[in-house]
Every structure is written in C-alpha cells, then in structure tokens.
Structure 1
Amino acid sequence: MSSGAAASIRSRSGGDGSREGGTGGRPSGGDSPGGPSPSGSPPPSGSPPPSGSPPPSGSPPPSGTSARDERSSSRGVGRPADASHNSADQVPRIDKIITTIGVKRPSYGKAGRSLKVWTNHFQMKIPGTNIYHYDVKLTERVWIEIISPTGKTLPIRLNMEIFKRLQFDVAPDVFTPRAVYDGRKNVFAARELPFPSGSQEFSFTLTDTTSSGETAEDGERRRGGKIYKVRLKLVATINPEVLSRFLQGTQSHDNAVPTAITALNVVIRMEPVMHYPFNVRSFFTNRETADIGAGMVLWRGYFQSVRPAIGRMLINVDISTAVMYMPGPIIDVALGFLKQRGPHALSLRRGLPDRELIRLQRHLSGVRINIEIPGQSSAARRPARPIKKLTRAGADELSFTMRDGQTVTVAQYFEMTHNYKLRWPDIVCIELASGAIIPMECCTLPEGQIMRKQVPPDKMKDVLKFATKRPPQRLQSIREALDVLNYGQSEYLKHFGMEVSSNAAVESSARVLDPPTLKYGQGSRQPTITPRDGAWNMVDKKFYRPATIKRWVVVVYEREQQFNMGTARAMVRNLLDALVAAGMVVNDNDPVILYDRPQRIYDSLQTAGKRCIEKHGGGAGPNLMVIVLPESSADYYQAIKHFGDIQRGVATQCLKSYKCKGANKQYFSNVVLKINVKLGGINVIPDARSVPALTDPKNPTIVMGADIMHPAPGAHGRPSFTALVGNLDHETAKYVADCRVQTSRQEMIDDLESMATAHIAMYKKYRTGVEKKFPADPKRLIFYRDGVSEGEFKTVLDYELPQLKRALANNNVEAKITLLVVSKGHHVRFFPQKREDADRSENCPAGTVNGFTTDDLQSLTFALCHVYARSTRSVSVPAPVYYADIVCSRAKNHYSPEGDFDLTESGTHLELSDAGHQLEAYRANFKPLHDQSKKLMYFT
C-alpha cells in the first residue's frame, strides 16, 4: 500500500493445486477484503467511513475486547508501536495518516486474456440474529495444589473436552442452544447466556479411572480428581448487520468485523473438532492414509475458513495433509524412527548413542500414550497421557523406594505388582509428568496424534507425493469434502442460522497476464525471450552479466571409493563446459582437487585455500570453493557455509556426490545459475520495455523483501530470525541480504530501520560507483512483506512503515513507499473450466490473476517472479520474497558449528526459567556476514 493509503495487496493466488505440500497455512482470498470476486462483478459502490467516524446505524458500539485472531496466534506475537520510534521531530504518527484497513480498492486490472475458472469456495448465508461473544478463563486445580493453588494454561484438546463436559453434562440448560468454543479464549453463543451481570464461573471435577502400571500412591492421588474452573464473561454483542455492510463496502474494517468472521469460523469448525484430530484450521480423518515408515503415517484432512468476498460470504475449502504418529506399540514407533531393528537397539548398554537418544526424545516428547501390560485387561484404562522424557537407563537399573521402605527396580515392581516379567528390561523407559516410570513395552500410542515436529528431510518426498493431486482430482476431492464436512447436519450451524450451499464450487473470472520479456547477455543467439508456460532454458544463452572465476578449488568429502579422482575430474570438465557455455570467464581450467574427512571441515578448507595459493605462486586465495558432499551432510553444510559466508567471505558451492556422478548438462547448467550470482554476476533481467513501471529511468526503484522465521512449536529459548533483501541495480536483478536475531516469536521486525538504512546506502553507492548513474537517490521503494497474517496488517503499518520512512530520512532520500503483503500460504485454488485454458500440468497458466490491483503493480510483481536467479522458470512469489525466506532459513549458518547451540528444526525444550538466558546466548553468539559476503548473493 502506498504511504498514506490503506489498501492491502496480496500476491497472486495461482491455481497451482498440484504443488501444495503440507498442512496449514494462512488463508487469503483473491480480492480485498479476502475472497474471490463474483464473476464479472464490479467494485461495490460507496466508500467505507474512516475508523474515527461514528458507527453506522444499527451497528454495535466498538468493543474493548475483540476475538483473538487465530492467524495471529499461530504466527507469533505482534509487537505494538513503540512511541520511542515516533518522536515529534521525526515522522508524524502513523495513525494520523492511516485511518483504516481494507478501504475500497482504487481500480481493477484489465491487461491479459480472460478465462473462466472454478475456485474452491462455497457460498454461505450469514446469521440473521445477534451473536454473543464471551471471554473464557479456564484453569485446573489438582488436589495437591489446594495448599498452594496455581493456574496453568491447558492444551486445546483438553480445553475442548472440558467445555464439552460443561455444555453437555454440567450445565446443559444454560447452553441451549449449543455454544461454540475455539479451544482458547473465545466462546460464541446464538443467544445471550443467562448469567447474572454478564458473567459466571463453573467449577467441576473430572475423575480418571485407575490405570494399570502405576504405583498405589499415584492411584490414590488421582481419586481426588482435578477441579476445573471455567469463567465466562460477556464482552461483545455481534450484530450480523456489520458483516452485511462490510461485504457491501459500506462498513469499515473495525474490531467488530474480524470478531464476527472469527465467530463464524468457530461455528463451522465446532462439529469436526469434536470428533477428529485437528490443528488450527484443518481436521483429519483416517479415510485415506499412507504409511511412510519411521513410525509415521499420513492422513488426509480438510481445511475450511470463512472468507468475506465482494457482496457475499464464502467458505474456503481445501484438502490438507497431516503427519501422524503410527498407532501401536511405542517400541515399534521408536525403532522405525531410528531405523533400527530389534528392541535391544533401544538400550544404552548395548550401544544406543546418546545423540540418538536425545533425537528420539525430541521426537516423542508430548506424545500421549496408553499404559497396557501385555496379556492383561485394559478395560480400566486411564485417558492417554503425554510423555515428558525418556530415561537414561533401563528398567532393571532404575529404582525407587516404596511406601513400606523397600527399594525396588522398575522391572522388579512390575513383576511383583502386576505379575509381568519384562522382556526387555535394559531398554530406556518412558517418564511421565507425574514422575512415573513406565517400561516401553507397556506403552502404546493411540490413533490420531498429529506430529507437530519438523518432518525429517528424507520423508518430505513421501509427504509431497501424498499431498499432491492434479488440479481436476483436487477439485473433485474438495467437492467430495462436503460429504465429510456435512454442513447441513451440523447442529451448531443450525443454531446460529447459517447455511452453506451444496452446489458446485464458485465460478470466477480471471485474467492471464502476458509474461515479461527477459534479456540475456551479449553473444546469446537469442538475447531476448518471452517465457512460455512459465518456463524457458539456457540453451544458446549467455548471462546478462557473467562473473569471472579467478582461482578455485574442489574439496571432496565423499569416500574415494565412492567418488574417485576420475569421477572428480569428469565433474570438473562438465562444470567447466557449463560455465563457459553461459559466458563466464574461468582463469583456471585445472583446479586443485583435495580429498579430506568431513570431521575437520575448517582445517581442510583452509588447507585447500593454501594449496590454491601455492599452485599459483602466491597472491590471493580462491574466489570459489566447490565442495562435494555425501548424501547425509546437513551438519557439514552448516560448517561450510559458516566458513565461506561468515569467516572468509569466499563463495562456496556444495554438490551432492550422487548427483554429480553421470549428471547431464541440465544439472550443471542449474549449478552455474547459482555460481554466477554468488560471484557478483547477473543471470537475466526483465526487458525495460516490458516492465516500464519497474525500470523507469526517471523513477529509480528499490525493491525489498522481508520475512521472519520463528522457532519450532514447543521450542523455548530459541530466537526468531529476520531477513531483509533488496536490489542494488537499476534492473532489479542483483540483490543483497541482511539477517538479524530477535526476540522469540515476535512477529514485527525490530531492526528494520537499521537494515533498511544500510541497504539504501549500499544502493546509492552501487548506483554511483558501479552503474555511474546520477542522481543516486531512489524515487520509489517497493516493500514486499512476507509472513504477516491479516490480523497484523495494521501493526505492520504502525510499526514497520515508520521504520522504512526513517531509513529513507537517514539517507536524505525522499521516496514514495509501496507496501505489499505476500500471502503465499493461502488455500485459495483456481481450476480452469476448459482443458484448453490449462497448462501441461492442468493448472491455470502462470500469470493468472483474479482482479487484485492496477495493471502496473500486477505486471511488475509478475516480472519479479521471473528473475529468481536459481531457476529458469517463473516462481510463485517475487524473487526478493523468495530470497528473504532462504536467508531466514539459513540463519543457523551464522553460528559456529563448534558452538553449543541446538539449531535443529525439532527444537529445544527448556524450562521457561532457562529460556531467557538461552535466548541471550543466541543473541550474543550470532555472527555477522563477512564484509565481502554482504556485497554478493551468497544465499543462492
């Protein structure tokens, strides 16, 4: 959005149905305020009133408490505006300029050819009566806490169970008709609940049955049960007229609108979350599954979200995928994860490495188990309980003192008390939160537990294969989802007066933009090309600005038996051919080839550099190091990148040995795409005539992309990482990056002003020093912000836009700012109605849009999707956004591999008291880029 305006603009919602892989994602629609526009519909008449105006007649007064935005809670904590950044002598307060979010768009695009598409939305009728919004406070008190009562946050699954008990058993007369609950802080009711003074507290006990496998003391403690306290307080009355006005464009996007939409989302999700495993926006069934090994199974699921569109309300429905823990004996799950056979592999005494034990513990922590002693009845089974950790010894070594003073091992206890002699007494055991120790052979995993850890890299191929469907099959699955969703039979929808159309998916008009003309370098047989179906190739083309390899070395960390000297020399020849074919200059056709052990990466890379200097009789070291890695080499990669990008400022290119052996020309051509930009070259640029809004010499433009990466769920003490990427050249093809560390899960970027200030200065220096263009100052700054939910749009304007303004002012630059939010994790899908309108994969053609913005903004965004340096095809988001995402994901390379920092995606699990100290340690040990790396596209 332009500085001073308030329209939010999203990236194109391409059909790309076959490319979806994974679960969740932030939904977004085709048009502001959120969904695809009706077929051929014009923009609604009338302008929304400013947020400071009185509410329209019939609308409720502004509420002091609005529903917690579910997208915001899943992304992280948004940071409020800091008064210290808005002093009177700097930039005027943003709320004096921006009055509302979601104002009517100024115009619609017209460029391109038109086509008709289906989209995965179904029309719905909104309620006709008020909805009552209650704030929920839910705590538990265990009997032992009566002496010193404490409250704690409960998991959503347990919250839903408690609310179900409250609504159906404890106070069914109060909750008639049924209310809906989001599992956190919000309850919505179709009628005002009969509470005195608008609030009421309920207190009741959930008792657990006795479970086998525990001490008598545990059972005695449980018989007291847990007392749960639920406090409900009326905080708002939602008038559906607000939504009707908003859909017609006569109501501004104030607090009442997202609260009402959240209420409708909770209503449609209430029925499935009561019966199926679920995450924030999807639920999953075992109707379609796939066993992918390693103790994991995939389940098909369904995503659903209420989306406002122009003049109507829609439900966005999509298929999704969850990775589940394989149900059954936990020993089988553990062995599958570790890729071992036989339970004895789980014994530390028999060689289980400590590192593998820690990895398994991370994988299993939080997973709920049932206690089942083999051969004995489990009729009195207690509800499944979560694993706290694994023990560091077997049941025959772990001992405790019983009430009578007798000390016994866990193995002896099970034989004495349960008449069960353990088959594998030396393998590690399960420890529960209560401190109880349970042998693994007495534990099973119940079905339907979502694995909320990072999917192992070697399983991603299986996940993508299961998740991927060609567009026609995907659309058919979405239509069939209505049978599972069963909106017509939901008592919750009936109570709220909501109806969902069972007709075909919504039809919409779309346009296919013309692709930009791309320009290659001198000597190309085809210097300019127009991509077809979003792809092209490097045949007979030279880089627009080829780099020079002055000196280089090859380091091989694969065993020589697997990758011998002959293979290495053949790889060098093939790589040289590709380098020369692309126009690059190579001053050394016979580089040093060094074999070494990956356990001493720093030393071996140092040695390789010295060998290169010795070969050339002194002078500078290599400006490129090519490293050949074995198949499993994630740790090596971090060490190599830390050496090159952080310590030495030398470009490094890693290759997998199995890919190099016998690879074709296309493989090495792809490698060369990365090498050229790492050494300062430019692969391709958009032709100035095809994208005048981006390359206008009278309006030099900086294009920036920004993103944030948060730690894995459940990881405490890990920081978030931020990245800013921007172009230096007037062709918007040469980018540099900056990466910072900040408070964990904070969504707004703290150091944006500092990073942007440095980047604008680099842009001016490059423009005058390298390009010899004057004046040096940019006239426009286009800022693509990734990783922001709809609930955080206003926060971006309040907190990040002023930082960009100050960064310009710090460089004495006056430039117009256009801020765009990129929602690449949405579930909006387009499906061409006619076969002739589809590409070869049956998707909508690249460049399909659904009426977002003016033609200039659409065309420049689409052009930026074609200058991604690592491929010869258009990508789904602008290149700077893609780069920012990569920079965030590689933030771990800023830490020394010898340091004591856990940067694995499975996350660390610390006590909260220790998390603050750990976070500060991450801050202190984060190493900046080498000065040379700061000038290059090291991240490609």
Structure 2
Amino acid sequence: MREAGMSVKTDSAMSIPGLVIAPPKIRYRNDEMRIAPRAGSWNVVGKQFIQPGVLNYWGVAVFDRTARDQDVLEFVSRLVGNLKRAGLVVANPSPPIRPGNPANPGPTLMEVATLGVNAGPPPPPKGTRYPQLIIVILPNAAPDCRRAVKHWGDIQRNISTQCVRSPKWRNANDQYCNNVALKINARIGGTNSVIMSEATSFLQTCMVVGADVGHPGPGAATRPSVAGLVASVDPAISKMTSYAHVQAPRTEIIEGLETMIVGALTDYQEYYRLQNKKTDPPKTMVFYRDGVSEGEFAQVAAREIPMVKSAFRKCHIPDALMPKLIFIVVGKRHHIRFFPQNPARDGDRSGNCPAGLLVHQTITNPNYPDFYLQSHAGLLGSESTALPTMLRNDAHRTTATASRPAHYVVLENEAGLSSIKYVCAAFVDMRIPALTIECSHSLQTLTFHLCHMYASATRSVSIPAPVYCECSENPRICSRMEFHCEDGASLSDTASNVTSAKPEFNLEQWKAAFKPTALNKRMYFL
C-alpha cells in the first residue's frame, strides 16, 4: 500500500471489546496436557495415541525414479519407529517395497497389496486378511501419478494410500514422520487424541456435521459442482463418515443433503451397534455449513434446514428422540481483521490476536445471532495482505499479516445452546485471568474446542474439524472429483475449455461418471 502511495490512519481504527476462550485439554494415551493459552498448538513428541491402530498388512510403492534403495529403507525404518513410539502395533516392520512406473501405477500397487497381505500375520479366527495401507513415494511434481494412485485406492480397490513426496520424505525427521503417523493412524481406524473440556458431556450425545459445495473454476461451464459432507459418528467426535455427490454447476444449495444426512445417521447407529452400545439417534446435530454468502442465508434456511429434518423422519426416528438441530453458517470470505492494542503484551508470538479470540458484540449482525472467532494462532505470512475494516496498529506490525477470523451465523438453535451475552472489560490486557473465559454451555466455546479435533494437525485449525475437511479454502472432499472419475486427468479446471456460447451440461452423465468410495468411513480424505 505504501508503494502505491496509500496510507491508513491507524489512530482512527475502531476499538472493540473481545474475550479469549480457554482452550480444552488434549488427551493422549499416556498423558493429558493443557494447551498454554494463546499458543494454539501442542507437541506430539513422546505422546502415544489415545487409541492406536494395528497395522498388519501394508507395503511401499516407489514411483520416484531418483529414489535410492538405501534412502527408502531408512525412511521406512524411521517411520516405523515413530509409529511404534506413538503406540501403533506394526506387525511387519519390514514391509515389501517395490519400484514402479509412475505412468502406470496400478500393477505395482496391486503387487505391493498382495505381497503386504502375504507377509502379514495369520488372520484372527473368523477374520480375513486385507491390505490396510500402501505408502506411496512420489516424485516432486507428479499430479497424474497421484491422481491414478488415489483412483486406484479410493475407488477401484478400496485400499487406503498414504502419499509422500520428494524431497520431503528424503529429508524426513521425527516431526515429519509424526505428521504422517497422525494420518496413518486415523486411516486404519485409530484415534489420535481427544479433547477434555466443558463441552465433552454435550458432545457425547451429539453428531457434528460439516458441509460445503465446491464449484468449478472460471470458464469451466461443463463441469459440475461437488457437494461434500463429513459427520462424526462417535462420542469423542474423532471418527468421521463422509459423503459426496455432483450437482449442477454454480448451485450453492446442497441438492442431495437429505440423502447424505440419512447415510450419516445410518453410519452413526452402525458404529454404536458394532460397539455393542445403545443405538439411539444423537440428541443434537450441530451442523456447520461453509461457503454461504450473506445474501443466501434465507435461501439456505428455507431449503437445507427442512432437508435435514426430513432426513430425521426418513430414518424413522420417533418424535420423542428427534435430534435437536443447531445450524450454523461459517464464513471466511470477508475483510475483517482484529489486532491487539498492544501486540507485545496482548498478542501471540507473531503479533496477532491469540487463538480463542471471541468478538460477539458491536459489529454483529442485526438479523441473526452471530459472532467472530479466531481459533488458530497466527503464522508469519499466513494470510494474504488485505485491507482490514477493523485495525489497531502501534506501528510495530511489519513482519506478519493478520490471521482471518471465522464468522459464525446461527440460523437454527433448537437445542437452546446459550450464547455469551455479558459485556467484558475492554480488550486491553489478555493476561488478566478474568478475560479467559470458560463457559460450559455456549456455542462459542463448543465451536472453539471443536477446532482442536482435526486428526492430522497438532494445532487448533481455523474452523471446526468436520467443516475444515470441507471448507472451500482447504477442500478435502469437494476437490477430489478427479479421483472419483475414471478419466480424472481431463477434469482439472485447466483442462476444461468453453468451446461455444452455450456449452452443454449433462448432469446424469456426470453422476454416472462420479463413483463413490467404500472408504468413506475411514477418513480417506486426510
């Protein structure tokens, strides 16, 4: 802005009150830690997963032609060591390793899967052996190979694949291997950690849902939009099921929402049946909907909320057990930023406001209950520079841009979950204990604590974990259409060209091409 000759008068910026919500405890198998307020992250080194998985049948496929055999062996050995220290049972620490042709990965993947099963232990009584995981080593830039690997694993064979890319795997240290271990444990059915907080008792009888619609890029008029949904199925909100389907391009309303909710509720009850537990439906469904603009609030409330309630009836849930619905729109496409009045005293290490910052008055929506929550710690250069509408700068903020808070708008609150109403002292000294609040039954506290449950991260993420898998800025399911279709290479935005003034779009053809995955209950999207 200075280079363009512009300036901002920071002395006239709006000053507003804010609160800092206390973080939850993060529980591991051998430890229970309290996250330091304002840190927003924690270290998993030396921690064992709360529910480590058992890895019996696995192997390694190498499609990086520059990879040396000794380097691959050292990486696998280091990874196995980290898996064991995290508590996983690795039945075969020396899995089969096979090089392959990146232009045709299928035969090598099939060979590794077969060898991995044969090299594993005998199956349990009345059990069967099946390939649980294939580690796939890719060259630095290999989108076509990765696309083929994911289609083979997610769609054709229903085998989980964990890709690692050069040069990261070559220089892998314990931190990198721990990050890979987080994904592996979740993919094979384990649980990395759980939160212990004031919201725990409420969440035990709750289903948390995240949903979004991903749209094709500009000019791609013959490609559909992809609607995705992720829902929790266990009391700890750590195991997820997911659904995706295609719909008409640029359509924001999720047309198949009712069907996806029915599937999620069925998976919820199936999980409890397998655990030999009571299979009542969830008492509450907390639904986080991403990607909705302010002008679409009324349309979403009028169409999607009835679809969710219709799904309840389709599952034949008795009236006495009908889940209470909390429907919240999550927005991040805005230009509002918050800065502490004194970055050195009140900010985090990057000078941003601390994780857990809550703003719930002064700038709120007059038509709907809403609040702003900055749930993640600021990182240097974590956001693109944008002109904030609320700014406080003591002329010391030159090294970091402001973290973007999420804006939550409540469209439905049948559970009557309270919202923080009282006014706190001005946003002046976040070190004062009174400004770190613990409110056991507030939407704000529930939302912030759910941001600590993303399976492949050891920090609080920007929005609650289920919708983080779906959000348009970090798409995990909505962006996987090319993996679900046979000819995925032709489905990228750059490959889609408009050749006429009125290009034809055939939704039924796309529905036939879009194949579902049987890994939807195994967090394949991590």
TM-score by length of 2: 0.79
C-alpha contact 1:739 1:891 (8 A) present in aligned 2: no
- For residue 411 of structure 2, what is the aligned residue in structure 1? none
Deviation at 1:481, TM superposition (A): 4.5
2:292 paired with 1:788: yes
Stretches of structure 1 that go unaligned for 5 or more consecutive residues are 1-284, 289-299, 301-476, 483-501
- For residue 911 of structure 1, what is the aligned residue in structure 2? 500
Q: For 1:887, what is the secondary structure of its paired residue?
A: coil
- For residue 767 of structure 1, what is the aligned residue in structure 2? 272
- Runs of 4+ aligned residues of structure 1 deviating over 6 Å after TM superposition are none
Deviations 1:552-591 (A, max 9, x none): 11010011xx311100100011100110111111111110
Which of these residues, 446, 469, 479, is aligned with residue 883 of structure 1? 469
Pairing 1:665-814 to 2, within 5 Å after superposition? 665-687=174-196, 689-692=197-200, 694-695=202-203, 697=204, 700-770=205-275, 772-813=276-317, 814=322
- For residue 511 of structure 2, what is the aligned residue in structure 1? 923
Deviations 1:690-728 (A, max 9, x none): 324633x5xx10100000000111111010000010001
- For residue 863 of structure 1, what is the aligned residue in structure 2? 449
C-alpha contact 1:767 1:773 (8 A) present in aligned 2: yes
C-alpha contact 1:716 1:911 (8 A) present in aligned 2: no
Q: For 1:605, what is the secondary structure of its paired residue?
A: helix
Deviation at 1:614, TM superposition (A): 4.5
Q: For 1:708, what is the secondary structure of its paired residue?
A: strand
Deviations 1:276-333 (A, max 9, x none): xxxxxxxxx9x74xxxxxxxxxxx8xxxxxxxxxxxxxxxxxxxxxxxxxxxxxxxxx
Q: 1:912 to 1:728 in 2, by over 3 A?
A: farther
C-alpha contact 1:527 1:541 (8 A) present in aligned 2: no
For 2:479 and 2:90, how far apart are their aligned partners in 1? Answer: 31
Which of these residues, 541, 551, 556, is aligned with residue 57 of structure 2? 551
TM-score by length of 1: 0.45
Deviation at 1:934, TM superposition (A): 2.2
For 1:593 and 1:652, how far apart are their aligned partners in 2? Answer: 14
Deviation at 1:527, TM superposition (A): 2.9
Which of these residues, 482, 489, 502, is aligned with residue 892 of structure 1? 482
Which of these residues, 814, 820, 840, is aligned with residue 328 of structure 2? 820
2:251 paired with 1:663: no
For 1:896 and 1:627, how far apart are their aligned partners in 2? Answer: 20
2:340 paired with 1:832: yes
For 2:517 and 2:73, how far apart are their aligned partners in 1? Answer: 32
Deviation at 1:659, TM superposition (A): 0.7
For 2:489 and 2:7, how far apart are their aligned partners in 1? Answer: 50
- For residue 542 of structure 1, what is the aligned residue in structure 2? 48
Deviation at 1:611, TM superposition (A): 2.8
Deviation at 1:625, TM superposition (A): 0.0
Specify the code of the residue in structure 2 equivalent to 1:901.
S
For 1:529 and 1:662, how far apart are their aligned partners in 2? Answer: 31
- For residue 7 of structure 2, what is the aligned residue in structure 1? 480
Q: 1:692 to 1:622 in 2, by over 3 A?
A: closer
Q: 1:795 to 1:826 in 2, by over 3 A?
A: same
2:356 paired with 1:850: no
Pairing 1:623-638 to 2, within 5 Å after superposition? 623-638=132-147
Pairing 1:132-147 to 2, within 5 Å after superposition? none
- For residue 77 of structure 2, what is the aligned residue in structure 1? 573
Q: Which has the larger radius of gyration?
A: 1
Deviation at 1:896, TM superposition (A): 1.4
Which of these residues, 901, 912, 922, is aligned with residue 490 of structure 2? 901
C-alpha contact 1:592 1:612 (8 A) present in aligned 2: yes
Deviates more, 1:534-543 or 1:702-711: 534-543
- For residue 596 of structure 1, what is the aligned residue in structure 2? 100
Specify the code of the residue in structure 1 equivalent to 2:499.
L
Q: 1:762 to 1:616 in 2, by over 3 A?
A: closer
Deviation at 1:630, TM superposition (A): 0.3
- For residue 524 of structure 2, what is the aligned residue in structure 1? 938
Q: 1:600 to 1:869 in 2, by over 3 A?
A: same
- For residue 509 of structure 1, what is the aligned residue in structure 2? 17
Q: For 1:705, what is the secondary structure of its paired residue?
A: strand
Specify the code of the residue in structure 1 equivalent to 2:208.
V
- For residue 139 of structure 1, what is the aligned residue in structure 2? none
Deviations 1:68-92 (A, max 9, x none): xxxxxxxxxxxxxxxxxxxxxxxxx
- For residue 435 of structure 2, what is the aligned residue in structure 1? none
Deviation at 1:925, TM superposition (A): 0.5
Q: 1:575 to 1:749 in 2, by over 3 A?
A: same
Q: For 2:516, what is the secondary structure of its paired residue?
A: coil
Q: 1:531 to 1:652 in 2, by over 3 A?
A: farther
Deviation at 1:662, TM superposition (A): 2.8
Deviation at 1:913, TM superposition (A): 3.9
Specify the code of the residue in structure 2 equivalent to 1:480.
S
For 1:678 and 1:615, how far apart are their aligned partners in 2? Answer: 20
- For residue 386 of structure 2, what is the aligned residue in structure 1? none
Stretches of structure 2 that go unaligned for 5 or more consecutive residues are 123-127, 361-370, 372-418, 421-438
C-alpha contact 2:58 2:131 (8 A) present in aligned 1: yes
Specify the code of the residue in structure 2 equivalent to 1:820.
I
Specify the code of the residue in structure 2 equivalent to 1:541.
K
Deviation at 1:677, TM superposition (A): 0.6
For 1:601 and 1:684, how far apart are their aligned partners in 2? Answer: 34
Specify the code of the residue in structure 2 equivalent to 1:787.
G
Deviates more, 1:509-518 or 1:603-612: 603-612
For 1:621 and 1:540, how far apart are their aligned partners in 2? Answer: 31
For 1:518 and 1:616, how far apart are their aligned partners in 2? Answer: 33
Specify the code of the residue in structure 2 equivalent to 1:805.
K
For 1:506 and 1:728, how far apart are their aligned partners in 2? Answer: 43
Deviation at 1:536, TM superposition (A): 0.3
Deviations 1:406-434 (A, max 9, x none): xxxxxxxxxxxxxxxxxxxxxxxxxxxxx
Q: Could you say what the CA RMSD is over the residues aligned between the two structures, in angstroms?
A: 2.1
Q: For 1:924, what is the secondary structure of its paired residue?
A: helix
For 2:351 and 2:96, how far apart are their aligned partners in 1? Answer: 48
C-alpha contact 1:712 1:906 (8 A) present in aligned 2: no
Specify the code of the residue in structure 2 equivalent to 1:824.
K
For 2:231 and 2:120, how far apart are their aligned partners in 1? Answer: 36
Q: For 2:12, what is the secondary structure of its paired residue?
A: coil
Deviations 1:497-538 (A, max 9, x none): xxxxx96110011111100111112xx1x2343344101011
For 2:117 and 2:207, how far apart are their aligned partners in 1? Answer: 39
Deviation at 1:746, TM superposition (A): 0.5
Deviates more, 1:847-856 or 1:507-516: 847-856
Deviation at 1:914, TM superposition (A): 3.6
C-alpha contact 1:787 1:823 (8 A) present in aligned 2: yes
Specify the code of the residue in structure 2 equivalent to 1:543.
F
